[in-house]
Amino acid sequence: MKTQNLKFGEAVKALANLAGMRPYTFSKQDEEREKNWIEYKSIYSRYVEKYHHELFKNPSAEAAKNYLKQRSLTSKEVKKFKIGFVENDSVFYNELKKEFDDKKLTDCGLFYFDERKKKYVERFRNRIIFPINNISGNPIGIGGRVLEENNNLAKYINSPETEFFRKGSNLFNLDNARKLSNKLEDIYLVEGYMDVIGLNKNGIENAVANLGTSLTNRQILILNQFFENIIICFDGDESGYKAALRAAENSIIELKPEKKISFLFLPDKHDPDSFANKHGKEYFMEFSNNNSISIHRFIFEHYSKQLDDNPSSKAIFEKKLRSISSTIKDEYIKKYMLEFFLDKISELTPNINRKNKSFIPKQTKSLKKTQNYYNETKSLKPIEIKEFSLLYIILKKPDLVRENYYLIENVKLFSNENRIIFEQILKETNNLEKTDFENINIDQNLIERILKYASIKHILEKSYNDDEKILEILNEVLRDIKNYELEFRIAELESKFSKDLSEATFNELKELKKQQKTN
């Protein structure tokens, strides 16, 4: 309808008529709001253009330009984001007053009446300004940074909320970042305008900032419309961490299937702007990929640090996680999130690691052995000892194993060296009527390790002629190895589930945990 130069209301009516639809009847309030929007948009557009031009042409803007240079910004970034400067004694209000009345100019939030001076003054005087656009790219608000450090002045201020500007429903740079959603799944959510601009300068354009307030549900919903994964990246200091925790508890409410929310914590004393400037895009992206943590894991790890050896501490911990889960709107995510938290809690034991203030995970039960034997084998993993026991039985009783080949044919070994030999043995055992290991090239050092560290060798020697007893021992060893395989797969799925929260992963994980309980 732009080609016909129609206003919004007229365009809606014309489209309805073309579609054969009953036209929407605009109320007086609708028409008044449309009129207000046209004037509001005009005021803001002229304001932004005026002070963007002043930054380049006004001699009083020299300090502002120096500040931007110190922040490593070039004219490219300044022009892209329409950064401007409002001088201390600007009289632009008087120019606008020729077209707009006082109420319109004060309602837009750019000016206010100074009772002491008895005149209308600039809200952003002596500040660098950053236009805040709506999703269509029209300026609807302003963020301003003071040039001179002054304890009596806030470093950053935003426009007050207006009919067309709600801080909790807008994000700085969303109008530009959303255009990348057809080729990028991730969006970085940072704290400040300079963080967004600094990331852009370094080639990371998929970044937005909230507007000096706590992250809102509405902002999460807006980002979910365009991107699959929200990566919240705040400053690497204590205040940044606290802001991230508030953001986690607020944003988890809107978590949806197939959508992700992650957190990226930068090294101390760094913000996204300084970190990207120091290391560049490639390192920043690599750091992000390697260090992002899912929202639920972040919440769990944060509150687990508050645990101590008091039983009530664990009760408070569980109550808190249940409370957070209950706030989630999506019923599927709520169910899986609670299951995730409860599973993680069930892994905790009363043994406290006081240094890290976290519970120590339960260890896999190892085969019984004497303290002396433990001292000899403490450098080995428990699963290696179990695998040595299996290989020991096969080497000592090959014919018995061949007769019961079905017991071992689907067993998986985890040590690379053991697995290679085991696969050769399986092939040899299955092919020959009488097992002969002379055809297998087994490293002598491995043979010595098997003979030395197999934990069941003494039991086997005592029962060498009792095939029934040996089969019982074999089954026990196989059960231990399969339990380890089950635990390994569960750990893999838990890691995967912490990243994607998919129903398929959850169901497989749940089924494996049922098996684990019955073993």
Determine the pLDDT at residue 356: 41
SS3 145: strand
Q: Do residues 85 and 67 lie in contact, with contact meaning Cβ atoms separated by under 8 Å?
A: no
Phi first, then psi: give them for residue 401, nearest 5 degrees.
-65, -40
Q: Do residues 55 and 64 lie in contact, with contact meaning Cβ atoms separated by under 8 Å?
A: yes
C-alpha span between 409 and 430 (Å, rounded): 9
CB atoms within 10 A of CB 16: 13
Measured in whole angstroms, how far is the alpha carbon of residue 164 from the centre of its chain? Answer: 31
CB atoms within 10 A of CB 31: 12
Q: Do residues 181 and 226 lie in contact, with contact meaning Cβ atoms separated by under 8 Å?
A: yes
| DSSP secondary structure letter of residue 360 | P
Strand 139-146 and strand 127-133: pairing? antiparallel
Residues 6+ apart with CB under 8 A from 392: 450, 451, 454, 456, 457, 460
Q: Do residues 139 and 12 lie in contact, with contact meaning Cβ atoms separated by under 8 Å?
A: no
Cα separations in angstroms, 117 against 113, 127, 450, 513: 8, 20, 92, 73
Q: Do residues 13 and 1 lie in contact, with contact meaning Cβ atoms separated by under 8 Å?
A: no
CB atoms within 10 A of CB 6: 14
Q: Which of 321, 310, 375 is nearest to 346 (CA)?
A: 321
C-alpha span between 126 and 130 (Å, rounded): 13
Task: Give the residues of the chain that fall short of pLDDT 50.
Answer: 1-5, 18-21, 349-375, 435
Determine the pLDDT at residue 357: 38
Global pTM value:
0.65
Q: Give the bridge partners for 157, in sequence order.
A: 144
Q: Give the bridge partners for 207, in sequence order.
A: 188
Determine the pLDDT at residue 482: 84
Phi first, then psi: give them for residue 362, nearest 5 degrees.
-65, 140
Q: Give the bridge partners for 145, in sequence order.
A: 128, 156
Phi first, then psi: give them for residue 386, nearest 5 degrees.
-65, -40
| DSSP secondary structure letter of residue 128 | E
Question: Is the alpha carbon torsion for 102, 107, 109, 110 positive or negative?
Answer: negative
Phi first, then psi: give them for residue 208, nearest 5 degrees.
-135, 165
C-alpha span between 342 and 322 (Å, rounded): 9
Does an H or E element contain 261, and which? strand 260-263
Q: Which long-range contacts (C-beta less than 8 Å, at least 24 apart) are formed by 284-287?
A: 284/199, 284/202, 284/204, 285/204
C-alpha span between 127 and 143 (Å, rounded): 9
Measured in whole angstroms, how far is the alpha carbon of residue 473 from the centre of its chain? Answer: 47
184: left (phi over 0), alpha (psi -120 to 50) or beta: beta
| DSSP secondary structure letter of residue 215 | -
Cα separations in angstroms, 122 against 56, 82, 103, 256: 19, 18, 14, 43
Structure tokens at 160: 């007050």
Tokens 């919440």 sit on residue: 299
Count Cβ atoms within 10 A of the Cβ of residue 289 and give its class: 0-12 exposed, 13-18 middle, 19 or more buried: exposed
| DSSP secondary structure letter of residue 469 | H
| DSSP secondary structure letter of residue 250 | H
Determine the pLDDT at residue 374: 44
